Structure 1
Amino acid sequence: MTGGTKRQKDMRKALRILVPRVPMADAEAILALALAGHLRHLPPYIAVWQATTSHIRHNHTDYDALLDEGYDRDAARFFVIDAMNLVLENWGCQKRLSADDNSLD
């Protein structure tokens, strides 16, 4: 995880600051999401935060299962906030999500 463009380096730095204890496999997946074209317009820290929350939601919670059970997106997101915050805490992140938080997107 060294080298690359300035943006890639900035993304890695933002990820190390945001979630210092993230496992390598998760870090690589989050960086790939953060570098996706649809997040290109965002500053590195914000792109990494959005990629991190999306990765956690889909890979470390029951979010997709709740959607499959018929819950709408907002309800499913509400029900996985605690699980997401636990992962963030375990990864050393100081930020937390709340039900009325715009960073759920």
Structure 2
Amino acid sequence: MRVSTARQRAVDKALGVLLPYAPYADTKKIRALANDRKLRTLPAPIAVWLATITHVRHEHSEYDALLTEGYDREAARFFVLDQINAVLTGWRATRLLEPDEDEI
């Protein structure tokens, strides 16, 4: 299934609102994740948020290294929360990840 132009515009708008100062290389990857078939059925702002957290967790934190060291997903996510929020703050995100926030 192809991504519609309306969906692309909605994702672009949500990205601009959520991450006004994110680097292009990062927004390009986040845009692709938000348009992935797993997130495509969600409203654009929610898909962009989930894609952003996934991208930052894997590309800008020690999450994968913690998993490799034997930490379970929940523990690894706890330990990288501040790293994720630091990246989001640097990008002047309009939302930060909360410690008790449920994820899909």
Which category of TM-score, normalised to the shorter sequence, fits these structures? over 0.9
- Measured against aligned partners, the alpha-carbon deviations of 1:34-61 in whole angstroms (never above 9, x if no partner) come to 0000111100000000000000000000
Instruction: Specify the alignment match of 2:70 in structure 1.
Output: 70
Q: TM-score, normalised by structure 2?
A: 0.93
Q: Give the CA RMSD over aligned residues.
A: 1.0
AA partner of residue 6 (structure 1): A
Structure 1 unaligned blocks of 5 or more? none
* Secondary structure at 2:97 match in 1: coil
Q: Which has the higher helix share?
A: 1
The 4+ residue runs of structure 1 with deviation greater than 3 A are: none
Q: Is the 8 A contact 2:17 2:94 kept in 1?
A: no
Identity %: 51
Distance 1:76 1:11 in 2: 28
Residues paired across the two proteins, number: 101
Q: Which runs of 5+ in 2 are unaligned?
A: none
Give the TM-score normalised by structure 1.
0.92
Structure 1 residue 98, shift from structure 2 partner: 2.1
